[in-house]
Structures are given as C-alpha cells and as structure tokens.
Amino acid sequence: MDFTLNEEQLMFAETARTLFADSCTPDHWRRMMEAGTARDDARWASIVETGLTLVLLPESAGGIGLTETDFALITQEAGYVALPEPLVESAGVAAPMLAALAPDHVVLSDPLATIAIAHPANPYIANADSAAAILLERDGEAYLATPDQVTLTAQASIDPFRRLFSIEWNVENATPLGKADWDLALDRAALFNAAMGLGLAQRAVDLAVDYAKERQQFGKPIGSYQAVKHHLASAQVAIEFAKPVVAAAAAEIGHRDVQSRARISHAKLVALEAADKAARTSIQVHGAMGYSWEVDVHLFLKRALALTQTWGTPAYHRARIAARLFTQPMGPDQTFARESDNA
C-alpha cells in the first residue's frame, strides 16, 4: 500500500505545468476568442513535442506507454489553464482506442493530428471539425471517418473552445475497425475530465485569492474578512477531498470492475462539483468584476459546467456508485476491495 506519486510522475506534471503556464495564459485565450479559433497550432505543436500526447499510447503505436495516473496529472495541469485544445478527447481517449484497434493506422503516424470521438454517451462531438479523423460507433463496432466523409452540424457551446457538432454518417463512408472498448473510453474520459476539474477548481480559487489580497474595502483587503475567507476555505476543502478520489480512480482504472467504475464516477462527480463550487465562489469573491467578461474566472465556470454533463451526466455516475454500494459488501475493509475477491 503506497498512495504516493513517484519522482518521474511529479516531474512530468511539472513539465506540463511549465509548458501550459507559458503558452496558455488568459491573453492567449482572448486572442483565440477574438479570432474565433479553438486550436493554437504553435501550442499544440509544443504539447506534442513534449510528448504529452504520447503518454497513453503503447510503444507499438509510437507512444511511451505510461499510465492513466501519469496522464491524469497532465490533464489536471491542463485544467489549471483551461486548455482549449482537445487533449483529453484526442490523446487520452481516441488515440489510445485507435491504437488498440489499429496500432499501425496512418492517423497515428501524424503526431500533430487530433482525433475526435463520437461516443454513444455524448450527443455532441467535441472539436470534430479540426480532427484528422473521427471515431464512430455502431452496435459496439468502431468506425473511422474524416470530417469530410460525414455531415457535421455545429452546436455552439457556452465554452468558446468546445466546438460541438452533431453528426450524420453512413457506414459505407467509414472504415470499420471492429469491436471496440467503449466502456474503457468512457472511463478514461470521465477520469481525465475529473482531473481537469481539479485544475479548473484550483485556478478559480487561486484567482480569487489573488484578487482578495489586493482589493480593498473598508480600508482593508477583502481577503482579511472572514466571510470571504470562509467561502474560499470551503471551496478548498472540496478540492482537497476530490484529489485522493481522482488519484485512486486513476490507479485502479485497469481493474475494470464495479469498484473501479464507481471510483471513476465518484471522482468525476466530486472533482467537477469542486470546480463548479470554486468557480462560483471565485465569481462571488470578485464581486461585480467577477460578473464581467474582463475577469478570467468565467471561462473556468463554463468549462466546469460543460464537463459536468458530458461523458456521463451526474445521474449516470451516481448510478454507477449505487451499483457498487447496493450490490457489493461494504464497510471499512472494502476501500480497496475488488469485485473478484467478493465473488
């Protein structure tokens, strides 16, 4: 039993943090929003160059074959900067799925290419227009198509960097790839979005803390008042008790049992609840400024709002937790128990 991260994992996360801090500031987003773009090619190239998109790909598909724990740490950092590019969907979900089905596929040989995924859990596909290919599902089988082989209809999201599309497509125009593991795709997406939620939440708190130290009212920084302190402390508590759930969910995802699915669902629920709570708290602490377009907090709120409902609604994830709670033995000796041990 060892619930700590190793040096390499911490270093990789640090690398991602530095890269994102330099290349994904609020100024960067604002330029993208004005230009109406959702992808910064230079930033994506540096993400690819650093190897962040290769973490989950097996070595046979040109990847570095690390674990979900490693990738979750990276997506947490991506959340901290509300990264516009589809790192989770492409590098965390779609590329590993394609690599499992067709490790030599040509799309995988282009490191800059992103892959979108039309998962049955989601009515809309994120960032499908800029993808080199889209993974599609019919009767459990996976298919691959390019954006021009399908009909995409844009559905604007309140998050300007989530370009959503509904899709119509014909099996004849897509390449069949065989039976795919859609459950694993959902588990990974839920996990990585949970990790992203931790980053969104912490940034929202940090922005509010910075503001509360500076902003003066009644002759004192507003952060010296208990009402403000307690709001922020409550948000931080929510973050602190989502973190270990996300970490455990990442470590256990490979078990593929009722416990690992419940843990992932738990992680997604509480991490995005923490993000929502932190973002709303941050807006409140910023006062009228927090309700303005000019202050950056709203993007974190909007991303949290979107991620809360995608890749399984809260009701879906609660039901997966209930499945464990009401069918498995429960109690203090069951924290790390497995379905196979209890069978």
Binding interface with other proteins (CB under 8 A): 1-6, 9, 69, 205, 209, 212-213, 220-221, 223-224, 226, 228-230, 232-234, 236-237, 240-245, 247-248, 251-252, 266, 269-270, 318, 321-322, 325-326, 330-336
Is the separation of the CB atoms in 338 and 191 below 8 Å? no
- Provide, rounded to whole angstroms, the least separation between the CB of residue 289 and other proteins: 18
CB nearer to other proteins: pick between 114 and 236: 236
- Provide, rounded to whole angstroms, the least separation between the CB of residue 198 and other proteins: 13
- Provide, rounded to whole angstroms, the least separation between the CB of residue 19 and other proteins: 23
Is the separation of the CB atoms in 176 and 105 below 8 Å? no
CB nearer to other proteins: pick between 25 and 327: 327
- Provide, rounded to whole angstroms, the least separation between the CB of residue 277 and other proteins: 13
List, in sequence order, the alpha helices (H) in 161-313. Answer: 182-214, 226-240, 243-252, 258-286, 297-309
- Provide, rounded to whole angstroms, the least separation between the CB of residue 332 and other proteins: 4
- Provide, rounded to whole angstroms, the least separation between the CB of residue 226 and other proteins: 7
CB nearer to other proteins: pick between 72 and 295: 72
Side-chain half-sphere CA neighbours of 125 within 13 A: 29
What are the Cα distances from residue 151, in Å, to 94, 133, 145, 277? 19, 13, 11, 37
The count of residues in the chain is 343
CB nearer to other proteins: pick between 216 and 292: 216
CB nearer to other proteins: pick between 202 and 310: 202
- Provide, rounded to whole angstroms, the least separation between the CB of residue 299 and other proteins: 21
CB nearer to other proteins: pick between 294 and 333: 333
Gyration radius (Cα) of the chain, Å: 20
Tokens (6 digits) for 322 = 């209930």
CA distance 207 to 286: 9
Is the separation of the CB atoms in 117 and 97 below 8 Å? yes
What are the Cα distances from residue 61, in Å, to 93, 96, 133, 136, 343? 14, 9, 16, 20, 36
Beta-bridge partner residues of 176:
143
CB nearer to other proteins: pick between 4 and 172: 4
Is the separation of the CB atoms in 338 and 325 below 8 Å? no
